[in-house]
Amino acid sequence: MSEHIFKSDVLVIGTGVAGLSLSLYIDRKVSINLITKSDPEDSSTFNAQGGIACVTAVEDSFEEHIKDTITAGDGLCVKKVVETVVKDAPQRIADLKKWGVEFTGGCENPALGREGGHSRRRILHYEDRTGEEIGRKLLSSALSSDNTKLFSHHTVVNLIINKGRCRGAYILDNRTLKVKTFLSRITVLATGGCGKVYLYTSNPDVATGDGIAMAYRLRARIANMEFIQFHPTGLYSAKEGSFLITEAMRGEGAVLLNAKGERFMKKYDPREELAPRDIVARAIDSEMKKTGSKFLHLDIHSGHQPQFIKNRFPLIYSKLLSLGIDITRENIPIVPVAHYCCGGISVDDKGCTSIEGLMAVGECSFTGLHGANRLASNSLLESLVFGYRAARAVPGLISKVNIIDTKPWKYTGKRLPSEQIFIEYNWQALRRLMWSYVGVVRSDMRLAEALKRLKIIEREVDYYYWNYLLTPQLVEMRNLIDVSRIIIKCAMKRKESRGLHYNVDYPRKNPEFKKNTYIRK
């Protein structure tokens, strides 16, 4: 075998909870190459603060969790999928405990949090760093498995297609800048979201929509990409690029204040701070525009003693204290941030895409669970449930498939770009463009202008892609452009306001658009 060709039964791209749980659920006789473009801990999973939703309290029920999910989804959830995920949750939580995951309050009687859109306390959490706890335990278990080999600092460039089937991927070694060929019987995209298309986001730098963009270029079916969830409370700070203030803080009674120091949520929704995220984000956006404020405030200190705040939110407390903000005495400056992609690569109930040999799990996939708006803390749960379901399907899918050799990557450029400033400039231009024209509030004119300006950025990036050697930044920039185009085109198709998509030209829901938005390249 060539030093640049790697073969495995399954190629898993991504080391968040979706990719790691799938790897752990797969039969140990199946060989796995696990790819991550940075360190394996660099993912949205490891950044997740709030927790994972699951019915455990005696006063709670599957029916209530299902109802809350469907209500948040604003008419577009697939009920069968919601029922499957909610009812499968207890067993998947048991699996987490088997892998060593701990929850605050203990596994037998965990302390349950409550977040926006939930009618009950049902959020299992580990302090305010649940994702880190889950991610570390799953990563440790996956790396101890003999059938799994990890390749860190490897950026996927393109998927390989042969006779209508996905056969693996061409992957750039970030350190050597050589493109390697990874061949497999099944390829699984677990690449996470696309928050970095926006100026303000809670997502890590790796969230550049790679899986969605690559599947799109392969002509896979993509769905509902207009539904980008903006988390109402990201930290507004010149010192910190992105840091999320968990919704669990509002679940514990924190209140939002406008520039005048007044509570305002009652004007927008009777549930006030515990309304679904789309409503809260638009309310904050509206209040900011009324006064021209760059940020609003979140107050947790007025309703709680300092020790409670330190014990319940130790990560947020210590992080903000390092930035000069003592949340036991001071309000937190906040701004809405791009947080979660409710659309993605369309998959069936086993995680299979419309391309043979290609699966997708986690945030990059579209299962029908979230509809037009994700209910808080359902994302880690979805990743676990579909990681399990996809893994159970893998043995049957690979049983009659052979690995087929393919041509090595063809280098179209012979030298590196002499300057990187064009990447940085276009990165900033794209993110500002998407924030200004395709953000919390949209209009037909803004969307048309965004598409026009995107084409200008695309032409310059395209020239560098075909005429120079690849760098990770260039690959990511190309993916960001593709994902931005998908978001814009999906938004242009939806002539109404529903869930996370709000267009001032169509401020109400339209029964004609109570359906999913599908798009292909």
Measure the CA–CA gap between 177 and 171, rounded to whole angstroms: 10
Strand order in the sheet with 112-113: 52-53, 123-124, 112-113
Decide if 234 contacts 245 (C-beta within 8 A): yes
508 is catalytic: no
- The residues facing 149 across adjacent strands are 33
Residues with Cβ within 8 Å of 502's Cβ and at least 6 positions away in sequence, in order, are 278, 282, 440, 441, 442
C-alpha span between 16 and 6 (Å, rounded): 22
Q: Provide the H-helix boundaries in 169-313.
A: 210-217, 248-251, 277-291, 306-312
Concatenated DSSP letters of 105-121: T-SSSPPEE--TT-SS-
> Is residue 84 classed as helix, strand or coil in its secondary structure?
helix
Q: Where are the alpha helices (DSSP H) in 292-378?
A: 306-312, 314-322
Q: At what angle do helices 17-25 and 130-143 cross, to 10 degrees?
A: 40
Distance separating alpha carbons of residues 167 and 95, to the nearest angstrom:
31
Q: How many Cα neighbours within 13 Å face the side chain of 134?
A: 36
Burial class, 85, CB count within 10 angstroms (exposed 0-12 / middle 13-18 / buried 19+): buried
Q: The tokens of 489 are what?
A: 């085109």
- Active-site option among 92, 122, 129, 277: 277
Q: Which of 313, 338, 327, 322 is nearest to 248 (CA)?
A: 313
Q: How far apart are CA 7 and CA 403, in angstroms?
A: 8
C-alpha 84/C-alpha 432 separation (Å) is 39
Closest CA to 313 of 216, 245, 264: 245
> Per the structure block, which two tokens stand in for 60?
């709670």
Sequence-ordered list of residues with C-beta below 8 angstroms from that of 144, at least 6 positions apart, any chain: none
Active site positions, annotated: 277
